[in-house]
Amino acid sequence: MTTQATGSTSAKGTLSLYGYPQCPFCARVLRAIEELDLEIPLLNTMQDATHLEAVVEATGRGTVPVLKIEGADGEVRWMPESAEIIQYLVNHYA
C-alpha cells in the first residue's frame, strides 16, 4: 500500500483512494487493497483540503472512502461506498 499522491496505473487505468486511515469504512478498503497486494495511493482528505474538495465536487458530498478510477480511455469515474469499492477491486484485480 502506498500514500503517494500519484495513482496506481495499470492497463485498466489509474486508481486513487480518497479518505483517511482513521475512518472505519476507509480502513476496510485499505485492508482489501493490502490483501489484494495492490498499490493504490490514499489521498488523505483530513490532511489536505483539496482532496476533500475534489470528492465533494465529484460526488456532491464529503463522505469517504471514494475510489477515483481514471480509465485508459480517459473516462473518469468516482465510486463511493466501501462495499462497492471492495467488490470492484476484487472483480477487476483479484
Region 1-16 average pLDDT: 60
Name, in order, each residue with C-beta under 8 angstroms of 70's C-beta and a sequence gap of 6 or more.
Answer: 7, 13, 14, 15, 16, 76
pTM: 0.88
Domain boundaries, the chain: 8-93
Average pLDDT over the chain reads 91
Average of per-residue pLDDT across 4-31: 83
3-class secondary-structure state, position 91 = helix
pLDDT at 23: 98
Per residue in 39-73, pLDDT (tens digit) is 999 999 999 999 999 999 999 999 999 999 999 89
Which amino acid, 1?
A: M
Instruction: Name which of 41, 39, 90 is nearest 68 in CA terms.
Output: 41
What pLDDT score does 13 carry? 82
Fold of 8-93: Glutaredoxin (3.40.30)
**Model confidence at 2: pLDDT above 70:** no
What pLDDT, on a 0 to 100 scale, did the predictor assign at position 9? 54
